Amino acid sequence: MKKSKWIWCAHNELREYNQTVLFRKEIHVLNPEHALLQITADSWYRVSVNGKWIHDGPARGYPEHYQYDEHDVSGVLKSGINKIEVIARYFGIGTFHQIPQQAGLRAALLVDGEVVGTDASWQASPSKAWKQWTPKISIQMEPFEEYDARLSTVLDWQPAVEVKRPGRLLCRNTQLLTKKLRRPNGDPSVAYVKKSEPHWCVPVTQLAHGETIEANFHTSRPVSLSSTLTVRKKQQYNFGSNDWKVAVNGRLLKTGKITLVSGRHNVVFFCNSFYGHNKEIAFTWLNLKGWGEWTVSMAATCLFRDSDVRWLTFENKAAKQVERRWLKAIEVYPWGFEICDVPEEQIFMEDVAAEFAARQPAARGDTEYCFDFGEQTCGYFDFTIKADDGVMVDLNMVEYIASDGTIQHTLPFNRNGMRYITKRGVNRFTSLKRRAGQYLFVTIRNAESPVEIRSVRIMESTAPVMQVEVFKSSDPALNQIWKMSERTLKLCMEDTFTDCPLYEQTLWIGDARNEALYAFTAYGNYDVSARSLELGAQSLEKFPMVGCQVPSSWECQLPAWSFLWGMHVWEHYFHSGDKRFLKKLWPAVLKNLEGAEQFVDERGLFSGPLWNLLEWAPIDHDNETVLHNSMLWVGALQAAENCAEVLGKAAARKKMCARRKKLIRAINSFWDEGKGSYPDALLDKSGKPSSKVCQHTSMLSIMCGVATPQIRQTALSNLLNPPESMTTIGSPFAMQFMYETLEKNGEYDATIDSIRSKFQPMIDAGASTVWEMFAGSDFDTHGFPTRSHCHAWASSPIWFLNRIVLGIRQTQPGGKAFEISPWISGLKHASGSTATPKGAVHVDWKIKGDTLQINISAPKNTKVEMKSNESHLGFEIAVEMNTLRAEL
């Protein structure tokens, strides 16, 4: 990339919101057999060579450690003139995946012994076809995609402009994602819906702060909108909204209801939702007809921006003070307000997803097709449609439709769709955005002549992984649970692990720790784990402890996730055997632990006004001192001791050991013998223990080695037979730790029984993937079984079915040695494999009369030890070992 320059379009500002620019370059090639294309962009690119789509990118990365992709393009180049075309998008707003800096594309083609890099010789044109002023898909994601094919030829090619951007580029260190065409199952269902009125939303944060790149809650919106409403005859209006205060003819309304006589009336809307993650505020109830020109005003004295490191449940005095100032400013409007010159298209953005969510069945109206892909998928919309000019084609995907036909819409969390406006003739299109779901609704609007839908497909896009072997047993439910878990994991693997493919697509550091264990087992995949860890380490350049979702424009700190990152570091080494990578991460391991020391209170516990979450269950976590944080810190210290031993850091190991033991004593001093539990938290005002108790502290005290022998048995009883007053585990994420603890204590049947009972409702609902919540969760799912129907933090059965039923447990780093001890658990047979860096370790066993036959195979030079357990009692054990592949 050294001989290339960052470039952009002469027509565009470098930091303007949601830009799409086209680039092209013709290159003469003599020998196309060895050609490598290196490319990156802020914030996104799609590159084609000679009309063939090569790939999209780049991988996520911090601006200081930005990455480029490499593509072998030998197979698409030809001798002679070749054409490179790039679609580049600059989001111009913060996401949970990027921290945009400034628009730019950079590329280099290595061919014929030369480097053809991006520079002013490339051509660039703004793309009018992709609409610029659209709302964000969600707080986590980029702006909504809307494409008008009629404008695809409205281009103004000019020489590209070279731009300066500091920092060096690094080559991507994860594999490129797949592109696999998936077709729907059978023909679509067809229905009619009422013609939709436009729904609007106002980008209040952007209006207030312009080009500020952030995704924080504490970013103020001191914005007002004013216009003149012309009333033809006396009537009542209801301007009521939780998000807007309203003044009519200078009088601030209490309820929003008012009766207006004929004539012209001045109406002012004030943003009442002064802080929030929703960067746009809905105006879905407002019909813009009958209004005059709109004016945006802002109270500059009420501009405020802060990170969310001090968590939302802890008072932010500065933020509150500015909010009070805003409420007073509303009362004396217009004094202190400044008028902003903003075009109406930037004030009111059409909310296409809201139109879909508000759909109503009709005998006649817009035609709606529903394509069922048979299971959850994630990828690009790909379609071919023949139509006249100006037909609106709305595509919206959902994960779940109830048995009575009720659709689980993705709003308000995510605008999971796009709008395409046709040109006359055949329209072929592949979306720029990866989206997820099972059911794709295609709504045809404004059609005055027949529309022919020739094909609708999904180009599935995930990390290129394949399970080494599917788990099978005599229990069909366990087989299905494992299969669902593996499908989910694949859909939640990109360049990093992600929480879910629909709502967020975010690398959550805590989720990544668990998902890495599942990926080690099912795929032997280590690059996604390594990249997730690396991004966590780089977040320490911005935070005292590892960030919770990275890289991200949302600045917050979740200590439990920081400590899970430390545990993940050790587990990655243990399973991969990659000592070089462990050495690379070691300084970050130390820095993460040093950062934790900043939050030690006088009792020796971790304490701070941070996001002290562990999961969604109603733990008493809205206090600065929650016991689970300190317990996970113990786990991170133990993991660091293990790392130090491998790296020969004896002094560091000794220091960490002493620190860990001191922390354990501090935690155990709060064990309540009377309640048989630790308290959830220590109350901020009094410092007294919370009256609430939960399974989580008992679980983590055992898992992280905190509980003394005297405490351990009572804590285990809390997990197996919790008292009625005790808060129990609420999410599949935390259930991973529960199962780890039960396995550690030999409670194998309890683990398998729990997997059966917790995941059976998903099977009963016809799920193809595992859910974010268990059925009956305390989390408000608005009457549906779960929010996300595809969430890999629930893929723990991969890990535990292989470890317990197959009995495959690694005992030395890098897959060098294994203990094999299958647990029968009422089954007649089971088979499967666990991946390792050396190859798969396979076990299949079956009961034949009084004999338990166990077949084991493992890679060459892998040491395997067969161990009997109490579930084998009464059986004659017959072990067959593939001695050509492994040592017994």
Domain 473-805 has CATH 3.50.50.60: no
Q: Cβ distance 807 to 822 under 8 Å?
A: yes
Distance (Å, rounded) from C-alpha 36 to C-alpha 30?
14
- Label residue 389 by pLDDT band (50, 70, 90): very high
CA dihedral 772, 777, 783, 787 (to 10 degrees): -10
Tell me the residue type at 620: D
Please, how many CA atoms are within 13 Å of residue 78, restricted to the half-sphere of its CB? 9
Span 232-251, mean pLDDT? Answer: 92
What secondary structure letter does DSSP report for 301? G
The CATH number that domain 6-171 falls under is: 2.60.120.260
Give the amino acid at 499.
Answer: D
Is residue 887 over pLDDT 70? no
Please state which of the four CATH numbers 3.10.10, 2.60.120, 1.20.950, 1.10.3470 is assigned to the domain occupying 200-350: 2.60.120
Distance CA 605, CA 871 (A): 41
What was the pLDDT predicted at 286?
Answer: 73
Angle, vertex CA 122, rays to CA 121 and CA 123, nearest 5: 120
User: Binning pLDDT at 50, 70 and 90, where does residue 287 land?
Assistant: confident
Per-chain mean pLDDT for the chain: 96
Fold of 180-196+359-460: Jelly Rolls (2.60.120)
Measured CA to CA, the distance from residue 781 to residue 802 in angstroms comes to 31
Q: At what angle do helices 579-597 and 627-647 cross, to 10 degrees?
A: 140
Q: Check residue 486 and give its pLDDT.
A: 98
Distance between CA 799 and CA 838 in Å, rounded?
18
- Region 769-779: mean pLDDT is 89
Mean pLDDT along residues 81-93: 98
pLDDT of residue 888: 46
Are 653 and 638 a contacting pair, CB within 8 Å? no
Residue labelled with tokens 């695809």: 152
What gap in Å lies between CA 333 and CA 135, rounded to an integer?
28
Contact 238, 257 (CB under 8 A): yes
pTM: 0.97
pLDDT at 781: 84
**Is there a contact between 304 and 322 (Cβ–Cβ < 8 Å)?**
yes
- pLDDT tens string 357-367: 999 999 999 99
Q: How far is CA 586 from CA 216, 548, 596, in A?
A: 30, 19, 16
Q: How far apart are CA 835 and CA 240, in angstroms?
A: 59
What residues does CATH 1.50.10.10 cover in the chain? Answer: 473-805
Please give the full DSSP string across 59-95, using - where no structure is assigned. Answer: ----GGG-EEEEEE-TTT--SEEEEEEEEEEE--S--
Contact status, residue 598 vs residue 540, Cβ threshold 8 Å? no
Burial of 714 (0-12, 13-18, 19+ CB in 10 A): middle
Percent of residues, the chain, with pLDDT higher than 90: 94
Q: Quick: pLDDT tens for 431-477.
A: 999 999 999 999 999 999 999 999 999 999 999 999 999 999 999 99
Range(s) of the chain covered by CATH 2.60.120.260: 6-171, 180-196+359-460
Instruction: Pick the closest to residue 776 from 791, 756, 761, 795 (CA basis).
Output: 761
Neighbours of 401 (CB within 10 A): 15
Local structure of 732: helix, strand or coil: helix
The DSSP element (H or E) to which 296 belongs, if any, is strand 295-299
Q: In the prediction, which pLDDT does 884 show?
A: 47
**For residues 299-314, average pLDDT:** 97
CB environment 579-606: b (16+ within 10 A), e (fewer): eebbeebbebbbbbbebbeebbeeeebb
Sign of CA dihedral 286, 290, 293, 297: negative
pLDDT at 886 over 70: no
Instruction: Answer whether residue 241 shows pLDDT above 90.
Output: no
Task: Name the CA dihedral angle for 793, 797, 798, 802, rounded to a multiple of 10 degrees.
Answer: 150
- Mean pLDDT throughout 838-865? 96
Number of H-type helices and E-type strands within the chain = 16, 43
Beta strand 886-887 with 862-866 is parallel
